[in-house]
Amino acid sequence: MAVGHETILLVEDEDSVRALASAVLRRQGYQVLEAATPGIAWELFQKHRTSIDLLVTDVILPEMNGPALAQRSIVERSELRVLFISGYADVASLDPGSRHVSFLSKPFQASMLAAKVREALTKPR
């Protein structure tokens, strides 16, 4: 049962986590752009900037961390919503300066990811 139609940029360096999250989100009806690194994510963001509704990013990544990527993206598109995912509990308070930020702890169940994504996309602006 699809519930979404929005476009999500998913940034996760662990292949298995990225594949699982992507599959879950696609089953929910979302268009998913996948990136294993912030560099690839930034290229995708530049190419699809106007159609990306949500950035779902791991906090700890090679090259650049998730909060830095989020800040860079928000500068380009202020209405962008961000969902951080991380296995580190102490990063739950992360906020790159936007009221459009959410957090999901790893490991997570598919239903938790789907619910958190929907919540992030429907937060009042």
Cβ atoms 69, 41 nearer than 8 A: yes
How many Å apart are CA 21 and CA 17, to the nearest integer?
6
Instruction: Write the class of the CATH domain 7-122.
Output: alpha beta
Q: Which of 28-32, 35-39, 67-71, 99-103 is the least confident region?
A: 99-103
Q: Does position 27 have pLDDT exceeding 80, yes or no?
A: yes
Residue 41 CA, distance from chain mean position: 10
How many Å apart are CA 67 and CA 115, to the nearest integer?
22
For residues 99-117, average pLDDT: 90
Q: pLDDT-based confidence at 123, cuts 50/70/90?
A: confident
Cβ atoms 66, 84 nearer than 8 A: yes
Q: Residues 55-107: pLDDT tens digits?
A: 999 999 988 999 999 999 999 998 999 999 988 755 545 554 556 788 899 89
Q: List Cα–Cα distances, 117 to 43, 64, 84, 120, in angstroms.
A: 22, 23, 10, 5
Pure H helices in 6-97 = 15-27, 38-48, 66-76
Q: pLDDT-based confidence at 3, cuts 50/70/90?
A: confident
For residues 15-40, average pLDDT: 97
How many Å apart are CA 111 and CA 123, to the nearest integer?
18
How much of the chain is in helix, strand and coil states, percent to nearest 5?
40, 20, 35
Q: Quick one: pLDDT at residue 90?
A: 56
Task: Express as a percent the part of the chain with pLDDT over 90.
Answer: 73
Q: Quick one: pLDDT at residue 124?
A: 76
pTM of the model: 0.91
